[in-house]
Amino acid sequence: MKRVLAAVCFIVLMSEAVRVAAQVNPYKDGTPGVTGYRSEVLAEVMVQEDKFTRLAEAIPADKFAWRPTPDVRSFAEVFLHVSAANYNLYKLVGTPPPTGLDIKGLEKSATDKEKVIATLKDSFAHAKAAIKAMPDADLEKSLDWFGGKNTQRGVLLFIVRHAAEHLGQSIAYARFAGIVPPWTEDAQKKQPEKKEAPKDKQ
């Protein structure tokens, strides 16, 4: 009996830990060690990481190779494309990808759910470290960009926009496949139950 009770307590505690961990709010909790524009970018990246990760975890393992049409990326490919960008684009602001990582082949490197999620998480850890390591003085540095010029500040903005586009894509995939995004489920659970209107007395 004691073992059963201990197991139940453990499950409840773990469920609470997962629930708390899912509530990422850098606008309230801050971005320790980073201020100014980099803090604003980091906050967006943290929110995107949370949504990408939670959505990936909500997708059944047998759906990771699914794609709505043959000519577009699968769930796994979208998540790994974002991962590749997290490694590839941050080299433009001073943080190169890990040595030996095959960025070009990353997008098609896996369909296994656990591997894809692990790669996604590692890539966001790299992204956050890159933002933290970047000196504020570098934000105005200019570089060649699509036939013109951009600043490193603009590159960070592009990176956030790029990930946001693919987050929207993965949300649309999920809805099409009948998967409700976890944050939508959270909001639905918080809504008070509708009380039945009192019936008129006859």
CA gyration radius, the chain: 21
- What is the tens place of the pLDDT at every residue in 97-149? 999 999 999 999 999 999 999 999 999 999 999 999 999 999 999 999 999 99
User: Which pLDDT belongs to residue 33?
Assistant: 85
Q: 22-178: what CATH class?
A: mainly alpha
Give the contacts of 119 (CB within 8 A, at least 6 positions apart).
79, 80, 83, 106, 109, 110
d(Cα 91, Cα 49) in Å, to the nearest integer? 19
Supply φ then ψ for residue 196, to 5 degrees. -70, 140
